[in-house]
Structure 1
Amino acid sequence: MNDMKSGPTAAHGLPKGFEGGFTVLMAVYGGDDPERFTRALESVFANSLPPDQMLLVVDGPVPDALETQIDKLQATELCVRVHRLPENRGLAMALNAGLALVETEWVVRADSDDINRPDRFAKQAAAINATSSPIDLLGGAIQEIDFDDAPMAVRRTTEGPENIRKFARKRNPFNHMTVAYRTAPTREVGGYPNIHLKEDYALWASLLKAGARVENLPEILVDATTGHDMYRRRGGTRYALAEFQLQQHLVRCGLKSWPYAIVHGLARSIIFLLPAPARAQFYRLVLRG
């Protein structure tokens, strides 16, 4: 079932950087926190540069508290399209379902529990417009916050196409909740690979293999919710197995050799099998640099 309030519009006088318009793509599922979901939505529409469309994918049944916020969103924002999946299919499949419906040249990703800074979209549009060569994928820095909104670490990413490609051999080169990407090249590589909680990294690898033009901004674009629950979710057997799927994908994309992928996959899988507190400590001190 789809609910359509309005299609894309060019009435906002978009900067040249988002010529062809942009759609904010977000997925929500039954386990999301209603309060944080509400704040995430508000941060999208509080931006100084409003989107042409917001496409919200509801990944399976959600509780009444989330349904209430979805109903309010549709009642107050004309550019919202809601696409519902009858059952929970996971983030990759939900995002791919949304990607198939995008009608604009650009997609801007937003997470259902993170807060977009008020000038995020304008900064990305300006950066795309200012570059001397076209960009297909653009990310930026995040301010990590805990569940009480207390600031934690700032997570910046490497800049420059060659540096990004080199970094991608070892770790995820983009903060996924900050990215803006062109719709057509992303569809051409097949969208998000269905790798549990690693679909973003896998997509960047696919785009790099296809020759996508990439960049990161040094500015903080998003306040991203983190904490012990995130480290609890990012562990266990399922996550360790997904790590090996990711390593295979990185090899296929030409970012790694098989020996390096095997060693790296084993090392990271051991970390993911640690108890959550130990994993959190290691993640902050080592994996995040």
Structure 2
Amino acid sequence: MRNDNYSGLMSIYSKENPNLLRRAFNSILAQTILPKEFVCVLDGPIGSELMEVVAWFKSEFSYRNIRIIIIKNSVNYGLGISLEKGLKACSCEYVARFDSDDLNKPQRMEVMLNHMNRVENQNIAVLGSQIAEFVDDPKKPSGRRKVPTSFDKVAHVIFFRNPLNHMSVVFRKSMVVSVDGYKDMPGFEDYYLWMRLINKGYKITNVPDTLVYAHVDDKTYARRSGIDYFHKELRFQYSVYSQSIIGMPTLMRNIFVRGTVRLIPQKCLTGLYKLLR
């Protein structure tokens, strides 16, 4: 293993599972190419169990000459604000997102960095990968989320669905900063960023490899439904419309189709998500 010039970025809050967090950190330590630094944002008080895992990870990462930056929020600000604070602390041009309950294949960063470093790919702002979803055992995936592997396809579908798996992405910090980075857009922090990048002429795409095992449970789909999430959907759609990223026909279509999806019963929503994957 060797260290390379990229920053790892993760946000942790109080409801994380300590065992999954430790496994997530272990999967980062198992990368064939380790980060130069790792920025971890503690989004509000996280409790003693999670702090023990954070202390362990600080020790393990430091042993491997990985610079550790811990940012502590006094209260829970949410993912968008936390990632933006973390992004500002990243010193490398390449930034890799890592989620606190997902597992990464050892070659994830090697595959992604090799792709980003190709001469023909210097204009790619964000690169993602395919993911497999698991409940208990990553060796027994419960589903997969396939995303487009060409910029043209990404540019076509982005107005209707999120074309990237957030937990899998690597991006160029300078390009993300040029569109003002992450924003406070609950439920759509990443999607909102991709929309603004595309609108400014940047390219985003995915590799065909499945490089991340994403943890899901019964609450995963429940968090994407209900009247509260419906209101979040409306806020997101109106925001991209007000910035002329989408037009009125797309706004109305998305409110009808995507908004309706948020209001259907959870069991039906779970089946719908699995069907779309």
**Cα displacement string for residues 9-68 of structure 1 (whole angstroms, at most 9, x for unaligned residues):** xx9464xxxxxx211100000011111111111111110000011110000011211010
Tell me: CA distance 1:55–1:69, structure 2 relative to 1, closer, same or farther (3 Å). same
Other-structure match for 1:7: none
Q: Is structure 2 residue 234 aligned with structure 1 residue 244? A: yes
For residue 76 of structure 1, the aligned residue among 51, 56, 60 is 60
Equivalent in the alignment of 2:93:
105
Aligned mates of 1:207, 1:248 — CA distance in 2: 17
Where in structure 2 are the equivalents of 1:32-51 lying within 5 Å? 32-51=16-35
In the alignment, which of 43, 57, 60 is matched to residue 44 of structure 2?
60
Equivalence for 1:26: 10
Deviation at 1:81, TM superposition (A): 1.4
Q: Aligned partners of 2:203 and 2:26: how far apart in 1?
A: 31
* C-alpha deviation, 1:212, in angstroms: 1.3
TM-score normalised by the chain length of structure 1 = 0.89
The offset of 1:271, in angstroms, is 1.7
The residue type paired with residue 73 of structure 2 is L
Letter of the 1:240 counterpart? F
Tell me how large the CA RMSD over aligned residues is: 1.7
SS of residue matched to 2:131 = strand
Note if 1:182 corresponds to 2:166. Answer: no
Tell me the TM-score normalised to structure 2 length: 0.93
User: Residue 44 of structure 2 contacts residue 74 of structure 2 at CA under 8 Å; is this kept in 1?
Assistant: yes
Q: 1:234 aligned to 2:224?
A: yes
1:147 counterpart = 2:131: no
d(CA) in 2 for partners of 1:90 and 1:13?
30
Q: Do 2:6 and 2:36's aligned partners in 1 also have CA atoms closer than 8 Å?
A: yes
Aligned-pair distance for 1:270?
Answer: 2.1
Q: Which amino acid aligns with 1:86?
A: S
Give the Å deviation of 1:265.
Answer: 1.5
Q: Deviations over 1:151-182 (max 9, x none)?
A: 11222211211211111011001000111001
Q: Distance in 2 between matches of 1:167 and 1:263?
A: 13
CA distance in 2, matches of 1:253, 1:48: 41
Equivalent position SS for 2:117: helix
- For the residue of structure 2 that corresponds to 1:100, the secondary structure is helix
**Cα distance change on mapping 1:227 and 1:103 into 2, 3 Å:** same
Q: Distance in 1 between matches of 2:217 and 2:68?
A: 30
C-alpha distance in structure 1 between counterparts of 2:254 and 2:3, whole Å: 47
Matched position secondary structure for 2:252: helix
**CA-CA distance at 1:92 after TM superposition:** 0.5
> Aligned equivalents of 1:160 and 1:253: distance in 2?
25
- Residue 269 (structure 1) aligns with: 259
Q: How far did 1:274 drift?
A: 2.2
How far apart, CA to CA, are the structure 1 residues paired with 2:176 and 2:250? 27
Distance 2:238 2:133 in 1: 29
- Cα distance in 2 between the residues matched to 1:166 and 1:64: 46
Q: Which runs of 5+ in 2 are unaligned?
A: none
* Separation in structure 2 between the aligned mates of residue 246 and residue 284 of structure 1, nearest angstrom: 23
- For structure 1, the 5+ residue unaligned runs are 1-10, 15-20
Paired-residue identity, %:
28
Q: How far is 1:254 from its partner?
A: 4.7
